Structure 1
Amino acid sequence: MTIEKDDSFAAMFEREAAAPAKKRRTPRVGERVNGVVVQLGRDTVFVELEGRIQAFLEAEELRAEDGELTVKEGDKITANVVEVDESRGHIRLGRSMGKPGSIAALEQAKAAGLGVEGKVTGVNKGGLEVELGGTRAFCPMSQVDSKRIEDADAKALIGQSLRFLVTDIRDGGKNVVLSRRALQKQEASETVARAMTDIVPGAVLTGTVASVRDFGAFVDLGGVEGMIPRSEIAHDRSVNVADALKAGDTVEVQVREIKDVEPTRPGGSTKKITLSLKALTADPWAELSIVEGRVIAGTATRSTEFGVFVRLAPAVEGLLHVSELARGAKVGDGEEIRVVVKKIDRATRKISLVPAPEGAEVGTAVATAVAVKVGAVVSGVVERIETYGLFVQVDGTKGRAGRGLVPNAEVGVPRGTDLRKSFPEGTKVTAKVLETGEGRLRLSIKGAKDAEERADFEAARGRAGAPASLGTFADLLKGRKL
């Protein structure tokens, strides 16, 4: 509702006066009061105080730098009682007392903590010279602004009308000391208090990106700053903060958490507000159709010391662990690769991958476990040499599941032999399977040789031809003279 003429405010008071009389305490000048905005006029904002007492403020006091009002109907505000005219039933509120006309008014403003309006008339070495409705005053340079101000900036204030708090009055008003910084701090606290009434966990708010860092973005929520951590920017973890947000962007965010913290600087915030962008977007895991044991095409997004992250679907990544890659294998960012989904953990939102077999088509089912049995003899290639043995990749397999360890005792060479010379990487070997299981494939080159020698012995023995039967004792004596 908009009021074009201030005489409608008088009509409002007349209606209030016609209501049944009830005992109400009239606020005193200088008193700090809370109220609710009930109407917005062109030049006036009408407020209802406790006890249904009507009051008003000049709209100019509630306008932002762009001229827009900073309040709307229903908003709660805190202001000071500047004037009480009981004969007319008018109570005027203000963030300041305007231009005080006497030392008494300045004393009143000082006592009530009200701001006063003054015009900067000059700058000297110590601060600003200010004229307050005929009274000269002084604002020390350290109190001109909440931020450090240079001489050139101070001189630029000459001729401007600013608001200050009266901090000291001496010698009957001959020395009046002001502070703009203290008023800014007071108004900032009031702004924070108003904003915090709406900032609660789960609330969806609109803010402006104040700054962007590698670890997240800071958002101004109307005098209160919150942070969107990198993990809350998007469901896709590979998205960089700077690519998603820019300073000045208007964003809609959800409040995830509010914590009490120690301020990092004097007068700093005592609240840590965590915000989220991704909470307001669809969850890609909700309808994820990826199946364990299937070949899927993906795109490598980034490589780390523990493996390669592969994008499998929008905002969904899996990890191809470094142990699943051949020694020295490189996967470049942006490279298209085929992998097999080894395991999906929806609770922790983690997907384990293994390399897909050569020639495997997307969508086909592939066993991630190596189908070898204990006692079987397999062939493979030496992939890595360690002080405790050889790692052999079994032919026809990829990744850790098909990579077995041949301990030193099972290599079949004299103790002290240099394995790097006897079995350089890439050497083809034959080994016997001693043990199987997830990450527990143990092989024996010596065992394979023993099995081969035993097989050769059995074959030779078979070729020599053993008699079908030894016969009876009588058969042995037949033809002999006794």
Structure 2
Amino acid sequence: MTEETKVQANEQAAAESADTVDMNEVSTVKKGDIVTGTVVKVEDNQVYVDIGYKYDGVITARELSSVPLDNISDVVQLGQEVTCKVIGINDAKETLTLSKKQVEGEKAWDKMQEYLDNNETIEAKVVDVVKGGLVVDVGVRGFIPASMVERHFVEDFSDYKGRTLKLKVKEIDRPNNKLILSQKDVLEEQYQAQKQQIMERLNVGDVIEGTVQRLTQFGAFVDVGGVDGLVHISELSYQHVEKPSDVVKEGDKVKVKILKLDPANERISLSVKAAQPGPWEQAGGQFQIGDIIQGTVRRLVDFGAFVEVAPGVEGLVHVSQIAHRRIGTPHEVLKEGQQVNVKVLDINVGEKRISLSIKETEEAPEQPQRQERPERAPRQPKVDIPDAQSLNLTLGERFGDKLSKFK
């Protein structure tokens, strides 16, 4: 026998010896033992495993995984080696019940505690979407509450099933089989790590593209390359905006201008309207002196009315230009929201000023005819009475007859 043949013979003998030991050990199998075997048959609701015992063991679908299964073949395949726990044995009926779930669960709990203690990240596949969150299989059933899935609000989680997520262990309650996980914590760590670097690359005045992430009553948060900036509701449009959803929706791509950077407080102020041509810039080529256009009365003041002639462009109709007749206040003729025709009297784009007139778009009313005055009687010619001096009369000559009475 050659040396090589001897080696092969020794290896075969050792293998047979090992098999004999395993068989002997398995022959005394009892409840609670951890055994290893090979899957020899896969059915719809259970699998058969050869552990070297006188009959095969059975793992039901419930004991295969800690989460409900759509298909057993997703977990085990024919010929696969599995480690199981003996949870029931009856030689009289030749039944051997095994659990793969319990073996994996015990190891998983220890592993989850280790991940929690070390703040490590794990990966897990979403196996189910339930009310309030997502279910993953990490050897035990893990639950991700809806509030811990993303950094932003998600209304519908139906498309998350089948996704593989990076998670942090948030809470472990082993006696109650409760494991809480979070993807939001992982995303938040990534966000904070990138935020400072990104902010250092941004400059006030830059016009960049972003994606609307979420809407609030006071504005919209826009992702500008990995960090979120706020577009206040007053910066969404040159027109008055009642609510942000009237202008944008989540997922919209928008151009924004950086108004302010505050790295210390990690804040970015953005503007959608400042990234667009202003209404006054457009008005310069849109309106000419003498044009008659339609507008909407927006405000009434004592000295006139402000009329919007284009989104974000208001002109003044002075009180003297409202009507052909004299009026005390604009309220006598106009009301807010009223549609009116106006004539452009003057325009100054640089100073954002347009002078308008309502009365010059209307024909002046005819003036009432004047009534003829009655003819006056001809004036009598004035007769000048000469005074005494002009007649060279002496006092005696003028009043002599009267003075003679006193003689």
TM-score normalised by length of structure 2? 0.45
Tell me which protein shows more helix as a share of its residues: 2
Which of these two proteins has the greater Rg computed from alpha carbons?
2
